[in-house]
């Protein structure tokens, strides 16, 4: 699959549902499902504007200690769960604070427990005190908007939707989803992986890795006992699928008339080059996901021990760069395995073999795999007869498309579409000073818009980069 786009300001946002899944749902013959998916895509775009960039590491001056045991007895999670009451104002009303008893709202209790379980994995296993290593409070909001098909980390807190009740259930029900999103926070404070192409796919994969490790740690499962599924508790019985992603068998998680087929590759032979989803970050993450699964099952036992320690060491303690690609990440994990367990150890052998099996390090040329980045191009000088708008992103990676017949829209809107295609700063909002620098940078799991017309290369934007007129135009286009 090949695509080209103008990526003016690559951005990031972390949502559990990939944009390509939401896009598929927005085309459902069921108008209720389609409308809810389209609204979720737009809401996720709106949330990205306040995000911190993973392309800029926010590491502290000194990393958290890698203590062999627990840190001071007074150290513990600092959780607060809020109720957004089906609105968009965050964080909402405080419902449960650290140490408070359970409440009647199951979503509140699930979020509270998931925050604690994730904190305990990082603290008890890896010696890290919260996401930043310094005891960062863990904040969550539940009941965000209505029929919201996503959960995301916005750089400051977790946000959970209740799902649409037909395809997706409540997003607080999946502990690996909570672990996934909070791990984006760890990545922001450590490696700062840029949310584009292969570095973005690694960003997603690392969140999947530690998301499943949270689940396995809580359940006490060994690598052989675990299901290696991401979001298995999200899909409702009407869906022909088992989860959003499978780390053991990428590309097999679902095959559904409305969701489509799981697009993840397991090896570099099937690497997907695309302009959507920030260069396929939710798609090509299947390759490093499979590598970790191979490492964990080859070593055996608890995956949070040796395999998790190797990945954690690379994420937090080594020379990893924000633009790290698969080849570089493979090299760093191989080095970490040798440093931690010795040259020729079972752990080191397993790591090297896994990257070879997925085709990352067995290339005879020694060159890096495709980056998934897309070239720039200028937009057309005249308004076309129609444009195709595709919205991608979100944790599930769904994709939603709409065709706009410009002959049937008012002249001011035609000017907006023309400006979007031509990357006109007056329309896009990309002019200097229009948006803060941090808002121009990638937001994990957020949505983006690709706007295309015959005879021109597509242009790609994040919603928070656009002028109010452009945002309103796109909002009307996707309103269900």
**What pLDDT is stored for residue 375 in this prediction?**
34
Over residues 171-201, the pLDDT tens digits come to: 999 999 999 999 999 999 999 999 999 999 9
Over residues 42-80, the pLDDT tens digits come to: 666 555 444 434 444 444 333 333 433 434 446 899 999
Alpha-carbon gap, residue 117 to 182, rounded angstroms: 11
Alpha-carbon gap, residue 460 to 369, rounded angstroms: 23
**What pLDDT is stored for residue 325 in this prediction?**
97
Where b means 16+ CB within 10 Å and e means fewer, 220-230 reads ebebeebbbbb
Cβ pair 285, 204 in contact under 8 A:
yes
pTM for the full predicted model: 0.74
Q: Which two tokens stand for residue 81?
A: 């769960």
Q: Which one, of 285, 450, 391, 456, lies nearest residue 19 by Cα?
A: 391
Catalytic one among 9, 82, 123, 181? 181
Q: Domain residue spans in the chain? A: 6-14+377-478, 15-357
**What pLDDT is stored for residue 374 in this prediction?**
37
Residue ranges for the chain with pLDDT beneath 50: 1-12, 48-73, 363-382, 431-440
Q: Which one, of 135, 160, 133, 134, lies nearest residue 147 by Cα?
A: 160
Q: Which two tokens stand for residue 44?
A: 């996720």
Task: Please name the fold of domain 15-357.
Answer: Neutral Protease; domain 2 (1.10.390)
Alpha-carbon gap, residue 422 to 402, rounded angstroms: 19
Alpha-carbon gap, residue 437 to 167, rounded angstroms: 36
Alpha-carbon gap, residue 87 to 406, rounded angstroms: 33
Q: Which two tokens stand for residue 430?
A: 């990309």
Cβ pair 173, 161 in contact under 8 A:
no
Dihedral of alpha carbons 369, 328, 395, 170, sign:
positive
Start-to-end C-alpha separation, the chain: 28
- DSSP states of 255-290 as a string? EETTTEE----SSGGGPPP-SSHHHHTTTTTHHHHH
Helix 197-219 and helix 106-120, axial crossing angle in degrees, nearest 10: 100
With tokens 């977790």, the residue in question is 158
List Cβ<8 Å contacts ≥24 apart for 450-453: 450/3, 450/5, 450/275, 450/276, 450/389, 450/390, 450/391, 450/392, 451/387, 451/388, 451/389, 451/417, 451/420, 451/421, 452/387, 452/388, 452/389, 452/390, 453/380, 453/384, 453/386, 453/387, 453/388, 453/421
Catalytic one among 9, 123, 180, 282? 282
**What pLDDT is stored for residue 138 in this prediction?**
98
**What pLDDT is stored for residue 175 in this prediction?**
97
| Cβ-proximal residues to 399 (8 Å cutoff; 6+ apart), any chain | 19, 20, 21, 22, 23, 24, 276, 277, 390, 391, 392
Alpha-carbon gap, residue 295 to 313, rounded angstroms: 15
Any idea what the Cα angle at residue 329 is, between residues 125 and 47, rounded to 5°? 75
Q: Facing residues of 230 across strands?
A: 245
**What pLDDT is stored for residue 406 in this prediction?**
79
The CA dihedral of 226, 230, 234, 239, to the nearest 10 degrees, is -90
Instruction: Specify whether 282 is catalytic.
Output: yes
Residue 118 sits at φ, ψ, to 5 deg, of -65, -45
Any idea what the Cα angle at residue 172 is, between residues 162 and 293, rounded to 5°? 125
Alpha-carbon gap, residue 189 to 316, rounded angstroms: 9
**What pLDDT is stored for residue 294 in this prediction?**
98
Alpha-carbon gap, residue 435 to 222, rounded angstroms: 47
Q: Facing residues of 260 across strands?
A: 256
**What pLDDT is stored for residue 20 in this prediction?**
75
**What pLDDT is stored for residue 476 in this prediction?**
74
What is the Cβ-side half-sphere exposure of residue 278, based on CA atoms within 13 angstroms?
37
Cα–Cα distances in angstroms (integers) from residue 462 to residues 155, 164, 332, 393, 467, in the given order: 16, 24, 31, 10, 11
**What pLDDT is stored for residue 97 in this prediction?**
98
Q: 3-state DSSP call for residue 326?
A: helix
CB atoms within 10 A of CB 16: 32
């Amino acid at each position: 699959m090949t695509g080209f786009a103008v990526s003016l300001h690559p951005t990031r946002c972390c949502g559990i549902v990939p944009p390509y899944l939401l896009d598929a749902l927005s085309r459902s013959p069921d108008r209720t499902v389609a409308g809810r998916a389209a609204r979720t895509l737009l809401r996720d775009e709106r949330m990205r504007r306040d995000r911190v960039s993973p392309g800029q590491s926010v590491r502290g001056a000194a990393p958290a200690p890698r203590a062999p045991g627990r840190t001071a007895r007074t150290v513990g999670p600092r959780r607060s769960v809020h109720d957004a009451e089906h609105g968009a104002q965050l964080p909402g009303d405080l419902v449960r604070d650290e140490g408070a008893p359970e409440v009647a709202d199951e979503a509140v209790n699930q979020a509270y427990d998931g925050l604690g379980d994730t904190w305990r994995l990082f603290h008890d296993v890896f010696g890290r005190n919260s996401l930043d290593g310094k005891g960062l409070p863990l904040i969550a909001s539940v009941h965000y908007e209505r029929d919201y098909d996503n959960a995301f980390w916005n750089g400051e807190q977790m946000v959970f939707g209740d799902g649409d009740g037909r395809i997706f259930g409540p997003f607080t029900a999946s502990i690996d989803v909570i672990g996934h999103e909070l791990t984006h926070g760890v990545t922001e404070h450590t490696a700062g992986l840029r949310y584009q192409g292969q570095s973005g796919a690694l960003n997603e994969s690392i969140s999947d890795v530690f998301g499943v490790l949270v689940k396995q740690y809580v359940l006490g499962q060994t690598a052989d006992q675990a299901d290696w599924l991401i979001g298995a508790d999200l899909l409702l019985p009407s869906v022909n699928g088992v989860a959003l992603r499978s780390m053991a068998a990428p590309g097999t998680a679902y095959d559904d008339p409305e969701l489509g087929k799981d697009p993840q590759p397991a090896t570099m032979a099937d690497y997907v080059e695309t302009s959507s989803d920030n260069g396929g970050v939710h798609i090509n993450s299947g390759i490093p996901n499979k590598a970790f699964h191979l490492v964990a099952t080859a070593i055996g036992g608890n995956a949070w021990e040796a395999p998790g320690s190797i990945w954690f060491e690379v994420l937090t303690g080594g020379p990893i760069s924000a633009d790290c690609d698969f080849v570089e990440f493979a090299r760093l994990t191989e080095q970490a395995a040798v440093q931690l367990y010795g040259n020729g150890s079972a752990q080191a052998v397993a790591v090297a073999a896994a990257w070879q099996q997925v085709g990352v390090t067995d290339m005879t040329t020694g060159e890096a795999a495709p980056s998934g980045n897309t070239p720039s191009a200028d937009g057309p000088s005249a308004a076309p007869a129609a444009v195709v708008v595709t919205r991608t992103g979100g944790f599930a990676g769904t994709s939603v498309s709409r065709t706009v017949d410009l002959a049937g829209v008012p002249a001011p809107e035609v000017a907006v579409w023309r400006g979007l295609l031509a990357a006109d700063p007056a329309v896009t909002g990309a002019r200097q000073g229009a948006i803060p620098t941090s808002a121009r940078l990638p937001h994990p799991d957020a949505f983006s818009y690709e706007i295309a017309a015959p005879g021109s290369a597509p242009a790609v934007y994040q919603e928070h980069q656009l002028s109010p007129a452009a945002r309103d135009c796109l909002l009307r286009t996707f309103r269900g």
